[in-house]
Amino acid sequence: MSPVETSIPAGYTKVFGRPNSLSDAPTTYCPGCHHGVATRLVAEVIDELGIQERTVGIAPVGCAVFLYRFYRCDFVQAAHGRACAVATGLKRANPELIVFSYQGDGDLAAIGTAETVHAANRGENITVVFINNQIYGMTGGEMAPTTLAGQHTTTTPRGRDVATTGYPLKISEMLAQLDGPTYITRQSLHDAPHVAKARKALLTGFQNQVEGKGFSLVELVASCPTNFKMSPQKANKWLVEQALPAFPLGDLKVRD
């Protein structure tokens, strides 16, 4: 695939641009949503590793349902929650492929819990990008498995009651207890230093697959300003003050 061409005005020098693996199609994400940051970071990593021609992504059901429009590599659309199962099939059919799924918390941690857990437990040589924004974003802001205790959503208008709905599900901690995974990490997208750490984590997650090391999951804690009913700035502040204490950052499992 040829690089995306952009014109540079006379007298200007281009120092930053769109990754080659990212298309010029407008995204469908809301303003201030961290999905846009995560989507770009994945494209940057694909470019850096030089794997665009053999990469296949799995698009989820959720805010990233149109992900196949945003990348310049092959994609498969999976049924809700089944991305890890589809990724497993692709990778086993053609081990030379670099296969990644990109999933929100409703997709991965609710209807897709079984597929995620068992792919991790088998140590499938795939890379999972997990966006944890503590809410169902696309369908109206309902409570997700990762919704915080007391958090207000359209289905918990008085706040999540753990006595009836349980506690936020900590997927990374769960998977880190299994023998199969190679790399489990949780990062955040709320400011530039953390975005840089998230990029490094994604690079590791994809590099592990290139080297045949097995299952990697990179969880990215994100905000959803639209359904939080906050400005992007306030949503970032809420993420730091409320979400990150519940979902502490860092590597949970690293296996050579």
pLDDT in tens, 158-214: 999 999 999 999 999 999 999 999 999 999 999 999 999 999 999 999 999 999 999
pLDDT at residue 5 greater than cutoff 70: no
Q: What is the pLDDT of residue 145?
A: 95
Q: In terms of pTM, does the model score above 0.95? A: no
How large is the average pLDDT for residues 116-127?
98
- Answer whether residue 6 shows pLDDT above 70: no
Give the domains, in start order, of the chain with CATH numbers. 35-135+169-254 (3.40.50.970)
User: How many CB atoms sit inside 10 A of residue 236's CB?
Assistant: 20
Distance CA 120, CA 46 (A): 22
- pLDDT beyond 50 at 2: no
**3-state DSSP assignment of residue 89:** helix
Per-residue pLDDT, 138: 87
Identify the CA nearest to 251 among candidates 192, 181, 158: 181
